[in-house]
Structure 1
Amino acid sequence: MAKTQMNVRVDETTAQAARERALAQGVSVNRYIEELVQRDAAEVGRSFVDAAADFMKSYEHLFAEEFGPSETGGSGSGSLPKA
């Protein structure tokens, strides 16, 4: 994957913390920052999936009334009813 250069301004305390954490993990500051952003993006994705699952649990009875009970017994396998 191609890399893009970014210039970021942070206060010296934050910069020093990034250097120290990267050193402790045995990675470059660039790699450390990249991994932080990737983890943050993954957390957002997990939050969305969790919210969708909660929504389905809350409204499962309404879907069952409209479309009939799921063939999986509500296990959330994602299978659609046969047409």
Structure 2
Amino acid sequence: MAKTQLNVRVEEATAETARERASQRGISVNRYIEELVQQDEGENGRAFVQAAADFMRRYEAVFDEEFGTPAQPAEGTR
């Protein structure tokens, strides 16, 4: 995947913390930031799926009433 440069401005204390954490892990600051963004992206995805599942549990009866109960799978296809 192609890389692109991203310039950001942060407080000096934040920059120093990023440098320290990256150094502790033995990786570059660039890699550290990239991993943080990827982790955040994964957490957002999990949060979305959880919220959707909660919504479906909460409103399952409403959907069943409006659209009917889903058909049961045929024998042998479970």
Please report the TM-score for the alignment, with normalisation by the length of structure 2.
0.82
Consecutive unaligned residues in structure 1, runs of 5 or more: 73-83
Q: Could you say which residue in structure 2 is the equivalent of 1:78?
A: none
Matched positions, count: 72
Q: Which has the higher helix share?
A: 2
Consecutive unaligned residues in structure 2, runs of 5 or more: 74-78
**Per-residue Cα deviation, 1:36-70 (whole angstroms, up to 9, x for no partner):** 01111111111111110010000111222233333
Please report the TM-score for the alignment, with normalisation by the length of structure 1.
0.78
Q: Percent of counterpart pairs with the same letter?
A: 67
Q: Could you say which residue in structure 1 is the equivalent of 2:17?
A: 17
- Answering whether residue 66 of structure 2 is matched by residue 63 of structure 1, we say no
CA RMSD, Structure 1 to Structure 2 (Å)? 1.4
C-alpha deviation, 1:7, in angstroms: 0.9
Distance of 1:6 and 1:67 partners within structure 2: 48
**Structure 1 moving runs of 4+ over 3 Å:** none
Distance of 1:6 and 1:66 partners within structure 2: 49
